[in-house]
Amino acid sequence: LLYRWGNPANYGKGTKEDQKLFGQHDSKWIPKGYPGEGNLMVYNNDIPHPDNKLPNMWAALAGDPSPELNVSVGDVGNYSAVHEWKIPTSENGTYELNENGVFGPKTPDWTYTAPDKYSLYSSFISGAHRLKNGHTFITQGKQGRFIEVDENGKLVWEYWNPYIDDYKLPDGSPAQPTGPFIFGIFRATLYPEDHPAFKGKNLEPIAPQPEPFIFKMPPPQEESTQ
């Protein structure tokens, strides 16, 4: 392994308090010519809230096998984020360790979370990539939600996948053979409108944008001592 980041305890150089990544997906380089070129970007799926009664929904399911799951949404107040960071390198291009033998940086150079933190959350799949205008395109995979945010984290575009899990491809095969994930999308890529592949093609939507049901998980509530 040439470089590791997000949980130095995995190589004996930290504790659980140093962990930054939780079930991350879609780590990729920002392309040359794009703002942040050469940096790494990743979707950080399942960041735990410090007041959680349970570490994640998977633990909730494993801990309560009864047909009627007795778990409150406030028990698992996890959220997701997108991070970007520059890897510290030496003059000869090797990845440098700091004085404590840990790969840097200590914190990401840029992070996006939802304004209320909890409305951007997908416990699995998902992804993100930088656009040439400096914005970032994010796939919230579990819900089939796509957003574009600017460099300040302002939401400038949003779309929800209108196809449910029984949607069929032109040959009749299911679009999601590992489903059902309802509206789930593993990952999406945003192409500019002037992309050569679109030349001469009809770009009108093939289905209307639905009015989605938006569930926003509330943060964990502190228990009253009175």
Distance between CA 71 and CA 52 in Å, rounded?
12
Report pLDDT digits (tens) over 119-131: 899 988 999 999 9
- Residue whose structure tokens are 């930290």: 14
Calculate the CA 81 to chain-centre distance. Answer: 6
Report pLDDT digits (tens) over 86-119: 999 999 999 999 999 999 999 999 999 999 888 8
Reduced to 3 states (helix: H, G, I; strand: E, B; else coil), residue 82 is: strand
Confidence of residue 74 (pLDDT cuts 50, 70, 90): very low
Taking the complete model, does pTM exceed 0.95, yes or no? no
User: Quick one: what percent of the chain has pLDDT higher than 90?
Assistant: 54
- Tally helices (H) and strands (E) across the chain: 1, 8
